[in-house]
Amino acid sequence: MQRKALVEDQIAQVEAQIYEVEGAYLEETAQTGNVIKGFDGYIMGTAGSRPSGSANRKARFKESDRLFSRSSATYERV
C-alpha cells in the first residue's frame, strides 16, 4: 500500500510537469503555430506582425488544445 501511494504521487508529479510544460509551449507558439494547431501563422508570416503594445502580452490558447495533459486517464486539473 505504501509503494502504491508513492507511485501515485510520482505519477501526479509527472502529470503536473507535463501540464506546465505543455502550457508554456502552447503559449509560446500560439502566434506562429505548433504541432497541435498547425503552422499557418508561421507560413502566413504573422509571427512578427503583432500590433505594438501587445508584444509583451502572452497569447492565449484553449484548454482543449492540451492534447498530452488531457490524454492521461489519471490526471485531473485542480
Q: Indicate whether 8 belongs to any domain.
A: yes
Q: Indicate whether 17 belongs to any domain.
A: yes
pLDDT of residue 6: 96
Q: Indicate whether 75 belongs to any domain.
A: no
Task: Compute φ and ψ for 38, nearest 5 degrees.
Answer: 95, 175
What range does the domain containing 28 cover? 2-70
Q: Which of 7, 13, 24 is nearest to 59 (CA)?
A: 24
- CA–CA separation, 58 and 75 (whole Å): 25
- CA–CA separation, 32 and 36 (whole Å): 12
Q: Count of domains in the chain? A: 1
What tens digit of pLDDT does each residue of 47-76 get?
554 544 444 445 678 887 887 887 887 766
Kindly report the pTM of this predicted structure.
0.64
Q: Indicate whether 32 belongs to any domain.
A: yes
pLDDT of residue 21: 92
3-state class of 4 per DSSP? helix
Q: Indicate whether 77 belongs to any domain.
A: no
Q: Indicate whether 78 belongs to any domain.
A: no
pLDDT of residue 9: 92
CB atoms within 10 A of CB 27: 14
